[in-house]
Amino acid sequence: MFVGIGVFLKRKVYFFRKYLFPTAIIAGFIGLLLGPEILNIIHLDNERLGSLVYHLMAVGFIAIALKKREHTHSKNIVNSGIYIVSIYVVQGIVGFTISLLLVNTFFPDLFPPFGLLLPLGFGQGPGQAYAIGSQWEEIGFFQGGNIGLSIATIGFLWACIVGVIFMNYLVRKGIFKIESDRGNRKEEKIHEEMDSGELPLGASLDDISIQLFLIGLVYLVTYLTLLGLNTILVSLGTFGETLAQLFWGFHFIIGTTYAILLRIGFDLFKRMKIMTHEYPNNYMLQRIAGGSFDFMIAAAITAISLKTLRYYMIPTLLITTIGGIVTIFFILWMTRRIFKEDIFENTLAFYGTYTGTISTGMALLKQIDPGFHSRASENIVLGSGVALLFGFPLMVILNIPIFGYVTNQPSMYLLTLLAFLVYFGILYFILYKNKPK
């Protein structure tokens, strides 16, 4: 219903058309307004909405990863993964520095690692921020889970409201331009998209059924993998339980990895002439991904919790405001140096993803690239898998100040900042050496 209202408002209200508001974001804010957080006209279960976001994110990512693509841009994928981790590191440096300054000035009772929720809330989203914040409650962080949600909520506002303003500013100032014709890309039709090797329309099983089967198969294997990892890790104690929870939060990356392996398998079977038909259909997979992201975006914004903002209002607003500004300038500065094509699309996608979530990043991207023709969506999706590899040292760094707090060793806080700076230097050096000419 909210999506339908959003479509109507986007077409009939000049303001929304003029300022390029994504329809799914309009739908999400309508749900937030009518839901229990504000007017309480319609009863909505935030936990159920969260489940929609969780699963639709994986479906959309798997669909994109299954698409047939050229294999000439592997450098972009690696750079994207390193770039993602570098954004986390910059946000961690900003958030942790501000929280340490507040602890030593106006808020001596503030939990010192408070600012580390900035990269978790902005970059990872409400799920991860709430999970980590709740764990910190056990060692003395009052309302840590709610604070994580609060920071993630403000991140959504930065992604949706500031992101739309940011997008319009870049277009109107001519800093970036939306290409009206990407290599003669016209309105797509299924018959035009189908290769000669694809299944004929008269096949016994409809093509869309095959796409849903492939996505479901990948997601089933993902679930069984996570279930197995969970069984093994939980037996290792608290550390294992924390790691298992982290894997469940990164389910979409694991699903994407399996989808890429399946795609490689299809390509191999085609080359070996074992398989004659092209079962994954790019056009339909693109439509499935787009539809999944539309409803995921609407559900994610509708599920925002505003009530948690009353806790630690000043530190939260200070950290998120400075963090949001730094994120804008860092992404503007860095994207130009990493990508040589689709700069505008990559800028918006990375900004929307690493202030809000992947859902808001995809929402901004869909506004200027409705068919995901640019490589920005692939950079986000496939780069996330690379980021998982480069992100493990970051998870170790995040635990240093927690250890320092528990053992009452404030020197660990400075060690954390030093580790952040060194790791950022390493990441930047790799990006500098690997950047396109």
Distance from C-alpha of 343 to C-alpha of 336, rounded to nearest angstrom = 6
Q: Residue 175: is its pLDDT beyond 70?
A: no
227 vs 212: CA distance, rounded Å: 22
Taking each helix axis from N to C end, the angle separating 23-34 and 2-12, rounded to the nearest 10 degrees, works out to 120
pLDDT of residue 194: 46
pLDDT in tens, 234-264: 887 766 776 676 677 678 778 888 998 898 8
CA distance 114 to 134: 12
pTM (2 d.p.): 0.69
What are 347-402's pLDDT values in tens digits?
A: 888 888 888 777 678 777 877 777 767 778 778 777 776 776 777 787 778 778 87
Of the given ranges (174-188, 361-375, 404-418), which has the lowest mean pLDDT?
Answer: 174-188
pLDDT band at residue 182 under the 50/70/90 scheme: very low
For residue 296, what pLDDT band results from cuts at 50, 70 and 90? confident
Query: For residue 201, is pLDDT > 70?
Result: no
pLDDT higher at 116 or 200:
116
Is the pLDDT confidence value at 138 over 80? no
Tens digits of residue pLDDT in 15-47 = 887 766 778 878 888 998 998 888 889 988 877
- Residue type at 301 in one-letter notation: I
